[in-house]
Amino acid sequence: MTKMARSADAAVVLRNGVCDHLHKDQFQHGFANLDEYDDALTQFDHMLRMRPLPSTVQFNQLLTSIAKTKHYSTAISLFRKMNLSETEFVKLDKFTLNIVINCLCKLNQVDLGFSILGNLLKLGYEPNITTFNTLINGLCVNAKIASAVKFLDEALALLPIPLLLMSLFKEMSRKRLLPDTVTYTTLIGGLCQTRRPRDALLLLDEMQTHGQIPDPFTYSTLLDGLCNNQLLDEALALFKKLENTGLAPNIVIYSNLIQGMCKTGKLDDARKLYLSISAKGLKPDVRTYNIMINGLCKGRLIDEASELLLKMEEGCSANFYSYNTLVQGFLQNNRIQKALQLLHVMDDRAISVDPCTVTLLVNMLSNDRLDNLSKEMLRAFFWNYFIFQVAT
């Protein structure tokens, strides 16, 4: 649309007083009540046609509303529209740029996020803690953390943090923006994702040295990283450290630790920890149950896993993973009848069979050690299963 056309439209709006009437209430109460994505786009177009233009705060509110619906590309497109010469009166501020940086990072375009940071500095704005946290999170999520690993400062000689992240740390320090718990937790998560959980442990110490207190999410992130990398002893030591701080572990932390024990073959310890949860005033969630069911199946304690599934359904609903894990456990232990009974329950509840389960079923048919009756039961199941698939 040309400037002349836009001015003509604005004149019509002003003459009829329509725009002010439509949006006065919206501007007073923000954009939290915008239920429909299309409504937000319509609102934006109306705002661009208003004269005088709404404030930057109001544009920021709308961009935030769109970003919260995960329409990140749209938010960036609208930002560009605001930035065009024909809408030169829309003044951008650091909050606008922070919203755009966040959207770019969510779209795995963290490099462009750094370009926006450059624009923010050129405009004379000081980045805030939100800016740095967003960029650090973008780097970690996109595995950029693994691309430039170097030892930088003598003070951090034992902690090889990647160049880009250290640069951000230095820039934050120069601007007297101390990394907060969110910053450190994001970095810890990034180090764990790139299989460097021991560096993450060192960063936890660094965090506490600088007066930042880890929260339950920090501990659960690090415990998960340690357990996923088979560092159970370090995870248990961290768990004891957590308990000594007086911070109550939540169910996510217990689940992470139980999973670590199951993965390292310490099933008895996992069971003991699982049984202690209720005494702590916590209730197992779906993930906790699934971890235990999987661990029991791998430990060939199939009947106990089956009992746990029944108990699970007293407090929360078993899901796709719960049923398929137990079916696979039955099949791997030649408990064909039990597996088929559970498959029929899944069919009644419209729970789908995953590819691994189907593969196991097919392999069982070619197992010479399987008796003929079991094979006939499997063939009957497959016949009914595929007839149903074709019918639907």
| Token pair recorded at residue 376 | 């006939």
Q: What is the pLDDT of residue 29?
A: 40
Q: How far apart are CA 185 and CA 293, in angstroms?
A: 30
Q: What is the pLDDT of residue 175?
A: 58
Bond preceding residue 52 cis, omega within 30 of 0:
yes
pLDDT tens for each residue of 99-156: 888 898 888 887 787 778 777 777 777 777 677 777 777 766 655 544 323 322 332 3
The amino acid present at 153, given as its one-letter code, is D
Q: What is the pLDDT of residue 314?
A: 85
Q: Which stretches of 177-314 are assigned E, i.e. beta strand?
A: none
The amino acid present at 254, given as its one-letter code, is Y
Q: List CB contacts of 338: < 8 A, sequence separation 6 or more.
A: 302, 306, 330
Q: What is the pLDDT of residue 1?
A: 39
Q: Is 17 left (phi over 0), alpha (psi -120 to 50) or beta?
A: left
Q: What is the pLDDT of residue 166?
A: 54
Which residue from 233, 241, 278 is spatially nearest to 257, judged by alpha carbons? 233
Query: How many beta carbons lie within 10 A of that of residue 85, not counting itself?
Result: 6
Instruction: Give the long-range contacts of residues 332-339, CB within 8 A, separation 24 or more.
Output: 332/297, 332/360, 333/300, 333/302, 334/369, 334/370, 334/374, 335/302, 336/364, 336/370, 336/374, 336/377, 336/378, 337/374, 337/377, 338/302, 338/306
pLDDT tens for each residue of 293-311: 999 999 999 999 999 999 9
- Enclosing H/E stretch for 46: helix 37-49
pLDDT tens for each residue of 149-193: 332 233 233 334 444 555 556 556 665 667 788 878 878 887 887
For residue 97, name the pLDDT band (cuts at 50, 70, 90).
confident
Tell me what the mean pLDDT of segment 59-64 comes to: 86
| Token pair recorded at residue 235 | 């995870």
Q: What is the pLDDT of residue 285?
A: 94
Q: How far apart are CA 343 and CA 386, in angstroms?
A: 14
Question: Is the confidence at residue 34, as pLDDT, over 60?
Answer: no
The amino acid present at 87, given as its one-letter code, is T
Question: Is the confidence at residue 33, as pLDDT, over 70?
Answer: no
pLDDT tens for each residue of 246-263: 888 999 999 999 999 999
Give the pTM. Answer: 0.57
The amino acid present at 152, given as its one-letter code, is L
| Token pair recorded at residue 18 | 């329509």
The amino acid present at 381, given as its one-letter code, is F
Taking the chain, what is the end-to-end CA distance rounded to the nearest angstrom? 50
Q: What is the pLDDT of residue 369?
A: 72
Q: What is the pLDDT of residue 185?
A: 87
Burial of 293 (0-12, 13-18, 19+ CB in 10 A): buried
| Token pair recorded at residue 241 | 């450290």
Tell whether the torsion through CA atoms of 246, 217, 231 and 323 is positive or negative. Answer: positive
Query: How many beta carbons lie within 10 A of that of residue 45, not counting itself?
Result: 12
Place of tokens 């106990």: 304
Higher pLDDT, 280 or 2: 280
Q: How far apart are CA 287 and CA 277, in angstroms?
A: 14
For residue 330, name the pLDDT band (cuts at 50, 70, 90).
very high
pLDDT tens for each residue of 194-241: 788 888 898 898 888 888 899 999 999 999 999 999 899 999 999 999
CB 230 within 8 Å of CB 262: no
